[in-house]
Amino acid sequence: MKIYKLTCFEATGEKIIDEAIEAKNDMEAKNKAEFLLNEKEINNKTHRLVSPDGNLILFKA
């Protein structure tokens, strides 16, 4: 399992979420991140999901 990093921000720059997501691959990590963002109703906020290799998997400005 790999550890991905999900970060979500308010417009002011304040962090709302800064969590590690454990997943087998990029697609599973992306699905878990989207589920978490939707569950917390913050999917419309600025967010990013980064792989352990530093690749940007999910991004919304």
The tens-digit pLDDT sequence of the chain (61 residues) is: 999 999 999 999 999 999 999 999 999 999 999 999 999 999 999 999 999 999 999 999 9
Euclidean distance between CA atoms 5 and 14, whole angstroms: 16
Say how many domains are in the chain: 1
Does this model's pTM top 0.85?
yes
The type of residue at 32 is K
Domain of 13 in residue numbering reads as 2-60
Please check whether residue 11 is in contact with residue 59, taking contact to mean a CB–CB distance below 8 angstroms: no
